[in-house]
Structure 1
């Protein structure tokens, strides 16, 4: 059987770049493809922080529905936006080779770092880590696609805004003057692209298997297992990063309180052959060493809003 693979994507510049990347790779393998764009709820509702919208997978839900309704065959996502539990009948089909995992600060000068400052981000993880390092600063919410967020930074009196380096690099918007936040632990699966397909679609699953990068897949699965074990359905400031060096995996995971004051962190190294459950075990250590109290306080704070 030969068919045209319909690639579902959001319509932002970055999402389209990701979809075109997958399209080009499939075409190079001899597959016929077409792009189908949809607008997600996360792109439309820009006046509320993500965690207030109460929707799991706000940037992926619309594509999930399109796939279930047979409007698209596969969907391309920034993997850090994808919930740890996929909808019934939809499975991970390929994790592409991971790009830059770091966060960076776009700024209007760095004099403010030693004094008062206003930093913009829509991420609880980035907010908490920034306040942990710079408790005297103010963090304001920033929503929208990459282009919209960069424009908002220019239009407001903020000192800077935090972005994922990979997103800016992919669409050639990374400026020459930026601050690399190498002390900030990235989001689980940051810098990775995920392609999902229907569980019973053997044609697309076979096609996408050729795009999978095994080392990237190993690392993001460890990070997402850590996230899933910690979260328990609650959005929280969680960072995780797994790296492979020869036959070893180096993992760092961290949980913060919303205000950044409380922090529990773990680092662990093991051989690749011993990777089973490393993410889960590290998350359990976090919970047993102060993390459970942090998660309870986050749930209480969220319930008030």
Structure 2
């Protein structure tokens, strides 16, 4: 175990927390590690919504290049930020046990829910689901890391902003003035951390594989397969959540129009042993139920 495994990460507080978690687990197994942080394009360009930047994996691209160039050996990501197709030569080596999957609303006052209001989010999925439930509300774009977004909420006349609960819990900035949005279907793989490595680096890959959580791996596989079949490389309002309860895998998936006026959903359960193409079958059902036409409209609107 003489090789030092270089862990690549973004330099936000949450990304560094995730990298340190992986470092601690690897070192507890006897491996030597080093954390190397880099800035991503997604962190630097804060004035444009993500879907306008033309890159679905904008937060992972810089680290992919660092791995391919040999600057780092492995990279740690929030799994929901990772494209469903990894670059050639890069493999998924571990999915860590999942944290909370809920979206939450951080609010200033909840009275606005009974009338008109303005909500901030940079996510098309959250925007569409919010407008589906609250069609008279306005949604504004919100970008930046967790701390930046919390500060922007304070600095602007918005009623609230939507966050992934796991991120705020991990870096201990979850405010008291929040509610769980248990009606909102999360992003595929929300709350899960993934570690990727170079396929030809057997030392690092074998080391990281020891951290894999099989239940989280199976559930996120189903969710990301559902996403991959539906979107075909296009960002869209898609939510998916799989859970294993005893001997059943329960799945819920949704596709919405950008304005939230149309919503297609599916709920199914199977034996976890039959998970391999389950996400694909659920996505196909959505596409056959009007999803194909909806995706064509979404792609046209997003250019």
| Residue aligning to 2:195 | 195
Moved over 3 A (4+): none
Q: 1:113 and 1:196 mapped to 2: Cα distance?
A: 41
Deviates more, 1:217-226 or 1:272-281: 272-281
| C-alpha contact (below 8 Å) 2:56/2:234 kept by paired residues | no
User: How do residues 8-157 of structure 1 correspond to structure 2 at under 5 angstroms?
Assistant: 8-157=8-157
| Residue aligning to 2:285 | 285
- How far the C-alpha of 1:56 sits from its partner, in A, is 2.9
- How far the C-alpha of 1:177 sits from its partner, in A, is 2.2
Q: Calculate the TM-score normalised by the size of structure 1.
A: 0.98
| Residue aligning to 2:243 | 243
Q: 1:52 and 1:285 mapped to 2: Cα distance?
A: 29
Q: 1:299 and 1:219 mapped to 2: Cα distance?
A: 27
Given the alignment of the two structures, is residue 158 of structure 1 paired with residue 161 of structure 2, yes or no?
Answer: no
Q: 1:133 and 1:216 mapped to 2: Cα distance?
A: 29
- How far the C-alpha of 1:209 sits from its partner, in A, is 1.2
Q: 2:66 and 2:155 mapped to 1: Cα distance?
A: 35
Cα deviation digits, residues 86-110 of structure 1 (max 9, x gap) = 0000000000000000000000010
Structure 1 residues not aligned, in runs of 5+: none
| C-alpha contact (below 8 Å) 2:56/2:235 kept by paired residues | no
| Residue aligning to 1:295 | 295
Alignment root-mean-square deviation, CA: 0.6
Q: 2:237 and 2:273 mapped to 1: Cα distance?
A: 30
Q: Calculate the TM-score normalised by the size of structure 2.
A: 0.99
- How far the C-alpha of 1:276 sits from its partner, in A, is 2.5
Q: 1:202 and 1:145 mapped to 2: Cα distance?
A: 33
Q: 1:230 and 1:271 mapped to 2: Cα distance?
A: 23
Q: 2:252 and 2:68 mapped to 1: Cα distance?
A: 36
Q: What secondary structure sits across from 2:261 in the alignment?
A: coil
- How far the C-alpha of 1:300 sits from its partner, in A, is 1.1
